[in-house]
Amino acid sequence: MVTIKEIADLANVSTTTVSNVIHGKTEKMAPATRDRITKILKEKNYVMNMGARLIACNNSRLIGVIINNPSTEDKNALQDPYVSELFGAMERQIRQKGYYMLTYIAEQEQSLTGHLDNIVKTAQSWKTDGLVILGVDSQESEFLLEALDIPLVFIDNFSSHPHCLNVGIEDEEGGYLITRHLLENGHRKICFLADRKDPIDVDAARLAGHKRALREYHLPFSTQDIFAIPRERISRQKTFEDLYKKLHRYTALFFSSDYYASDAMHFFQAKGLNIPEDISITGFDDNYFSQIVTPPITTIHQDITEKGRAAVEKLIAVIEGRPVTETRTILPVRLVPRSSVKKMI
């Protein structure tokens, strides 16, 4: 590969001058010199050595896209359609803005902060210009904010840390819309199903929306009506068995994700139940398969592609020193009624 030095020799100029035309600092340069160098650069097929650039100046044009994958799931993180659509959208924006994407997925570690240390190390090693981070909770995001002095943008993070730049959606509103829809259809006994019995982050917000709708209808809420769904397939089946026994208590199941909703739907259909006649089911996110499943699932739509694009755009704005008006970007959601909810009235 040809170097700046070689180009400089060919053009009878210094490396400074070549470097200047490469970076477009050509205002006070003789146009003739500029054109001559540009031509040679093209002819010789010059490609920047990013390693040299990385060590000589302080930006790498690398953006790290980090997933913290808490899952003990048999699947890999990208098999979640939410994650993969987000990834694809971020890649496109990163590339189109002239940056490079370094992908890092942190998996479960023995030590408590091992996965975070790996993220920090990777970012430092490569002197990434910034990071988009997915799947860390408030505490973890604050740890990273302390440990790293580059711009970070989080997705779906609920930290109140003043420097925590975030892109998220109206989770509370989404939870409200789903439950109001169920109530409007005459449902009064609704079960809320999420990752944990005491939901955090997005699930907590969705639950808050659920409660708000119940309050509007003067309906009581009990934590007994929250079910935790294990990520791991086998224990999830057990949970569904358990739920199946208690199903007489409910007329509708509010799942915090389409994936769980469709998984549960299959489980109950295999048990011989009809959806929505025997039990109504709702999801969240409007994944592709909430549409292709039978019956298609009533859910909350969010624009995942826009979310990924917005996160990268915000990150690059900070990197390039442009003013960022909102630390928290909240994208709208909307209800998508389909056929998995029975009209009770």
Partner DNA sequence: CTGAAAGCGCTTACAG
Q: Which is nearer to DNA, 6 or 91 (CB)?
A: 6
CB-nearer residue toward a second copy: 212 or 301 = 301
Report in angstroms the alpha-carbon separations of 246 from 223, 240, 241, 283: 15, 10, 9, 20
Alpha carbons 255 and 192: distance in angstroms, whole number: 6
Q: Of 29, 100, 196, 221, which lies in the binding site for a second copy, with binding defined by CB under 8 A?
A: 100
**Which whole-number Å values give the CA distances from 156 to 25, 136, 244, 248, in the listed order?**
40, 9, 31, 34
Distance in Å, CB of 9 to DNA, minimum: 10
In the list a second copy, DNA, none, the entry touching 33 (Cβ below 5 to 8 angstroms by class) is DNA
Nearer to a second copy, 30 or 292 (CB): 292
Q: Which helix (H) or strand (E) holds 193?
A: strand 190-194
Inter-residue contact 256 to 228 (CB < 8 Å): no
For 304-323, give one letter per residue: b (16+ CB within 10 A) or e.
bebbbbbbbbbbbbbbeeee
**50 is an interface residue for a second copy by CB under 8 A:** yes
For residue 52, state whether it binds a second copy (rule: CB under 8 A): yes
Q: Which does 5 bind (CB under 5 to 8 A by kind): DNA, a second copy, none?
A: DNA
For 73, the token pair is: 């799931």
CB 251 within 8 Å of CB 342:
yes
Q: Does 113 bind a second copy (CB under 8 A)?
A: no
Q: How far is Cα 310 from Cα 156, in angstroms, rounded to an integer?
A: 13
Please identify, using beta-carbon distances, which residue of 4 and 191 lies nearer to DNA.
Answer: 4
Strands 165-169 and 333-336: unpaired
**Among 101, 193, 253, 281, which residue sits at the site for a second copy (rule: CB under 8 A)?**
101
**Binding site residues, DNA, CB under 7 A:** 1, 3-5, 12-17, 19-20, 22-23, 28-30, 33, 46, 48-49, 52-53, 55-57
In whole angstroms, the minimum distance from the beta carbon of 30 to a second copy comes to 28
Q: Is 292 in the site for a second copy (CB under 8 A)?
A: yes
| Residue 240 interaction partner, one of a second copy, DNA, none, beta carbon < 5-8 Å per kind | none
Count of other CB atoms within 10 angstroms of residue 12: 9
Nearest CB to DNA, comparing residues 56 and 234 = 56
Residues of this chain that interact with a second copy (CB under 8 A) are 1, 47-55, 60, 65, 75-79, 81, 83-85, 87-89, 91-92, 95, 100-105, 107, 121-122, 124-127, 262, 266, 288-289, 292-294, 305
